[in-house]
């Protein structure tokens, strides 16, 4: 619990999952397991952060949920799965090696990297739809967990969009965030009456991943 004489301060620490099985692929909504090293790197990030979290909320996908549920159980923390934290769907690109897409659909992946708000992978989830579910999620959890520390366990693409929305960046700048495996970022929300200020307190501040 965080306390302030003037503001209610709510803290969300957002942890990306670690390394997964399958190599360098577009996973998106495909359910794949963590490697042992991936699980361990998430543990390292949490240990280094050494934060007294009040609750853990996870994506339903196993690469997030497996660690989040185990960690919450170990620390005796309330644990919740929220489907709005699932990774965006990459449609026809899911399960494919990034290098293969880069070589065979170069113009398409370049368009997506440069302006993901205007270009969606074939059959994928449009960025504005992802943003809408994250906006809904944030409004709900920032009210329900006011003045608490909460660990969110989610995905790289989702984190980029979430961070962009919270600090007021155009959504087409989401790709500008570097989010390696086991990246941990911190958002602080300061509330007083009808006033709210949101700050990116730290980004990728414990990860040892390249």
User: Strands across the sheet with 8-16, in order?
Assistant: 79-81, 55-58, 149-154, 8-16, 184-192, 195-202
Q: pLDDT band for position 5 (50/70/90)?
A: low
- Are 148 and 188 in contact, with CB atoms under 8 Å apart? no
Query: Does the residue 98 lie in any domain?
Result: no
For residue 2, is pLDDT > 70?
A: no
pLDDT score at 113: 84
Q: Which residues are catalytic?
A: 17, 87
User: Which pLDDT does position 208 carry in this prediction?
Assistant: 47
pLDDT digits (tens, 9 = 90+) for 115-145: 888 889 999 999 999 999 999 999 999 999 9
Q: Which residues contact 74 (CB under 8 A, 6 or more apart)?
A: none
Known binding residue 63? Answer is yes
Domain CATH code at residue 65: 3.40.50.1240
Give the domain extent around 13: 8-89+125-202
Place of tokens 């600090």: 167
Q: Is residue 62 part of a domain?
A: yes
Is residue 210 scored above 50 in pLDDT?
no
100 within some domain: no
**Domain for residue 196, yes or no?**
yes
pLDDT for residue 77 = 98
User: Average pLDDT of the chain?
Assistant: 91
Residue 99 lies in a domain: no
User: What number is the average pLDDT over the span 79-87?
Assistant: 97
The predicted structure's pLDDT at residue 207: 58
Mean pLDDT of 70-93: 96
Average pLDDT rounded to a whole number, residues 144-148: 96
pLDDT at 50: 86
E-strand ranges in 48-183 read 55-58, 79-81, 149-154
Residue 163 belongs to some domain of the structure: yes
> Do the Cβ atoms of 124 and 90 come closer than 8 Å?
yes
pLDDT digits (tens, 9 = 90+) for 7-62: 899 999 999 999 999 888 899 999 999 999 999 999 999 999 988 999 999 999 99
- 87 pLDDT tier (thresholds 50, 70, 90): very high
pTM: 0.91
Average pLDDT over residues 150-161: 96
Question: Smallest Cα–Cα separation from 187: which of 178, 195, 32, 196?
Answer: 196
Supply 161's token pair: 């969009």
Domain total for the chain?
1
Give me the pLDDT at residue 34, please. 97
Q: Tell me the mean pLDDT in the region 172-186.
A: 91
Q: Does residue 146 fall inside a structural domain?
A: yes
Residue 195 lies in a domain: yes
């Amino acid at each position: 619990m965080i306390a302030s004489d003037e503001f209610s301060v709510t803290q969300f620490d957002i942890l990306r999952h670690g390394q997964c099985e399958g190599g360098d692929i577009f996973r998106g909504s495909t359910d794949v397991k963590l490697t042992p090293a991936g699980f361990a790197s998430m543990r390292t990030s949490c240990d280094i952060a050494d934060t007294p979290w009040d609750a853990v909320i996870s994506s339903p996908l196993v690469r997030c949920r497996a660690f989040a549920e185990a960690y919450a159980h170990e620390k005796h923390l309330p644990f919740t799965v929220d489907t709005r934290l699932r990774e965006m769907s990459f449609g026809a690109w899911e399960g494919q090696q990034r290098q293969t897409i880069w070589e065979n659909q170069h113009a398409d992946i370049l368009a997506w990297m440069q302006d993901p708000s205007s270009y969606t992978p074939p059959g994928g989830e449009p960025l504005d739809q992802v943003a809408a579910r994250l906006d809904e999620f944030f409004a709900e959890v920032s009210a329900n967990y006011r003045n608490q520390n909460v660990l969110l366990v989610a995905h790289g693409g989702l984190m980029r969009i979430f961070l962009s929305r919270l600090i007021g960046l155009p959504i087409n700048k989401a790709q500008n965030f570097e989010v390696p495996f086991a990246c941990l970022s911190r958002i602080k929300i300061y509330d007083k009456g009808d006033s709210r200020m949101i700050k990116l307190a730290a980004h990728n501040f414990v990860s040892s991943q390249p």
